[in-house]
Amino acid sequence: MSVNINASTTNGLVLTSDTSGEIKLQANGADIATVDSSGITMASGKTLPASALTGSLPAGMGGKILQVVQDTKTDTFSTSSQAFVDVTGLSVNITPSSTSSKILVMVSIALGNNGTHSDARLMRDSTAIAIGDASSSRTRSTFHLSSVSNTDIPTPSMTWLDSPATTSAVTYKMQVAVPYSGSYVIYVNRGADDSDAGYAGRLVSTITVMEVAA
């Protein structure tokens, strides 16, 4: 024996017994969710609101992965800008379900240059994160690339646990810069020598973010 629990706007709370072995939660006769021996199943077209996921989890349940978002860049990008600029096509948006959630960011970016130093940094919206401390005129970055050969394409990677403390949408992205004036260029997913030959590589860069319950 089981019960249908219906919140009726006409008759108030209505309990109806049946033999389905389930508990059905209804609103004005429309199914919202079913509880049975396997757990709770939302009715078709019904979802658990994000507000129900806020707050603290019971003891021992922290560290659960709540959502994963990834962006993969397979085309190339280049710039000679001395100021940091966004790498087009290498950013992700995520909306945390709780202000206490952490965001685990994993980034891998394939970088080349034409004979100078160059830098890349991880951003949360307009804030640089995963960078070194300020020290005079030294560039604060996530990755620093010294001069490499025209065909070299190093691929540094980073894992960073961030605390955005918000339930609004957050954008994580990569920026790059060349800290020297002149005809110097930093490349993404290719080297400086882009000849149509087997020795000239084409690589991939990725950024993955995971919401981790506190």
- CATH number reported for the structural domain that contains residue 165 in this entry: 2.60.120.1340
**For the segment 186-198, what is each residue's pLDDT rounded down to a tens digit?**
999 999 998 889 8
User: Are 81 and 15 in the same domain?
Assistant: no
134 belongs to a structural domain: yes
Coil, strand, or helix at residue 199? Answer: coil
How many whole angstroms separate alpha carbon 162 and alpha carbon 33? 35
In a domain, 59, yes or no: no
Contacts of 48 (CB under 8 A, 6+ apart): 42
Do 91 and 118 lie in one domain? The reply is yes
pLDDT digit string (tens) for 166-210?
999 999 999 999 988 778 999 999 999 988 898 888 999 999 999
Count of domains forming the chain: 2
**Are residues 82 and 38 part of one domain?**
no
- Dig out the tokens for 65 from the structure: 């992965």
Q: How far is CA 56 from CA 26, 62, 214, in A?
A: 27, 8, 7
Q: Is the pLDDT of residue 58 over 60?
A: no
Q: Do 5 and 23 form a contact (C-beta atoms < 8 A)?
A: yes
Residue range of the domain that includes 39: 2-47
Q: Is residue 54 part of a domain?
A: no
Rg of the chain (C-alpha set): 25
Do 21 and 111 share a structural domain? no
Does 6 fall in a domain?
yes
Distances in Å between the Cα of 72 and the Cα atoms of 100, 190, 206, 208 are 27, 15, 4, 9
- Asked if 35 and 88 sit in the same domain, the reply is no
Give the whole-angstrom CA distance, residue 39 versus residue 193: 58
Residue 96 and residue 41 in one domain: no
Confidence of residue 1 (pLDDT cuts 50, 70, 90): very low
Tokens 């609101």 found at: 49
Considering the domain architecture, whether residues 90 and 119 belong to the same structural domain is answered as yes
Q: Is 56 part of any domain?
A: no
Whether residue 57 is contained in a domain is answered as no
Identify whether 159 is part of a domain. yes
50/87 Cα distance (integer angstroms): 31
Pairing mode, if any, of strands 23-27 and 2-8? parallel
At residue 109, the pLDDT reads: 97
Q: d(Cα 131, Cα 148) in Å, to the nearest integer?
A: 22
CA dist 55 and 99 (Å) reads: 8
Q: Are residues 7 and 72 in the same domain?
A: no
Residue 53 lies in a domain: no
User: Could you tell me if residue 91 is left (phi over 0), alpha (psi between -120 and 50 degrees) or otherwise beta?
Assistant: beta
- 83-124 pLDDT, tens digit each: 999 999 999 999 999 999 999 999 999 999 988 888 999 999
3-state secondary structure (DSSP) of residue 50: helix
Instruction: Give the closest residue to 175 by CA, choosing from 138, 122, 126.
Output: 122
